[in-house]
């Protein structure tokens, strides 16, 4: 399901990663109920906001230190920080498909990173397994929206989700690739959410349960879930 390079645990001690797989999904039919719930969650966040900025929230602040620990710069902010920033500015999350709306909802509601990929693309097109490791010479990245001939080499030493030599997410929880992205045609998915120890005991289980229950509620999908840790 997911292989993690040992050095990752050295850099981010105590982190736990929720990994959820589900198949037989229908992702091309709009779900107005889910869209409304995402908008309502963003509005509720704005009403209750009492912090100077996203990175000062106690659930988001630890990510600044975590990103520094893996060598990312200040411009490589955690995905949930960017999502919260959009919500506070009343900018809706990008509309892609119901599955993306769903993991954005979980991310915004629990204030944790959440993302995912098309599992069939990883298995068949990339013919590789999902890894969380530091990049090596020869690894490549294709930014979202880029054409096939617009792949760029990635410097060695970045923490990334990788399949083969294709980087699926640069700087761990920063920017996703065109490779294996979720599309309306996605029928089998792998979702991940990274939980830092500062969030307390039970946080990973709470997010796991939210992902599993939501996949059943919105997509009538039975999910397989695990929590990966040292």
Query: Among 6, 12, 18, 22, which residue's Cα sits nearest to residue 182?
Result: 22
State the Cα–Cα distance between residues 219 and 213, nearest whole angstrom.
10
How, if at all, do strands 140-141 and 166-170 pair?
Answer: parallel
How, if at all, do strands 3-4 and 130-134 pair?
Answer: parallel
- The domain total for the chain is 1
pLDDT digits (tens, 9 = 90+) for 28-44: 999 999 999 999 999 99
Give yes or no for residue 227 having a pLDDT over 80: yes
Q: What is the mean pLDDT of residues 45-67?
A: 96
pLDDT digits (tens, 9 = 90+) for 7-28: 999 999 999 999 999 999 999 9
Question: Which H or E run contains 107?
Answer: helix 98-110
What integer pLDDT is reported at residue 183 of this predicted model? Answer: 96
State the Cα–Cα distance between residues 103 and 108, nearest whole angstrom.
9
Q: Could you tell me the pTM of the whole model?
A: 0.96
Q: What is the CATH number of the domain that holds 75?
A: 3.50.40.10
Q: What is the DSSP letter of 91?
A: P
Q: Tell me the chain's radius of gyration from C-alpha atoms.
A: 17
State the Cα–Cα distance between residues 80 and 104, nearest whole angstrom.
9
Question: What would the two tokens of residue 144 be?
Answer: 């979202």
Domain assignment of residue 105, given as a range: 3-228
What integer pLDDT is reported at residue 150 of this predicted model? Answer: 87
């Amino acid at each position: 399901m997911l292989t993690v390079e040992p050095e990752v645990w050295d850099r981010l001690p105590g982190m736990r990663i929720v990994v959820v797989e589900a198949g037989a999904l229908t992702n091309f039919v709009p779900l107005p109920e889910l869209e409304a719930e995402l908008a309502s969650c963003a509005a509720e966040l704005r009403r209750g906001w009492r912090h100077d900025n996203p990175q000062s929230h106690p659930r988001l602040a630890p990510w600044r230190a975590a990103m520094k620990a893996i060598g990312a710069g200040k411009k490589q902010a955690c995905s949930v920080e960017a999502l919260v920033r959009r919500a506070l500015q009343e900018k809706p999350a990008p509309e892609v498909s119901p599955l993306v709306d769903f993991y954005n909802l979980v991310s915004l509601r629990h204030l944790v990173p959440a993302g995912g990929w098309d599992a069939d693309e990883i298995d068949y097109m990339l013919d590789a397994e999902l890894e969380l490791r530091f990049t090596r010479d020869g690894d490549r990245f294709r930014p979202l929206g880029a054409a096939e001939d617009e792949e760029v080499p990635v410097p060695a030493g970045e923490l990334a989700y990788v399949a083969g030599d294709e980087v699926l997410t640069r700087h761990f929880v920063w920017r996703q690739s065109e490779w294996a992205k979720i599309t309306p045609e996605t029928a089998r998915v792998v979702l991940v959410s990274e939980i830092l120890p500062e969030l307390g005991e039970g946080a990973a289980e709470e997010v796991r349960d939210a992902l599993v229950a939501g996949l059943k509620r919105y997509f009538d999908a039975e999910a397989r879930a695990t929590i990966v840790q040292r």
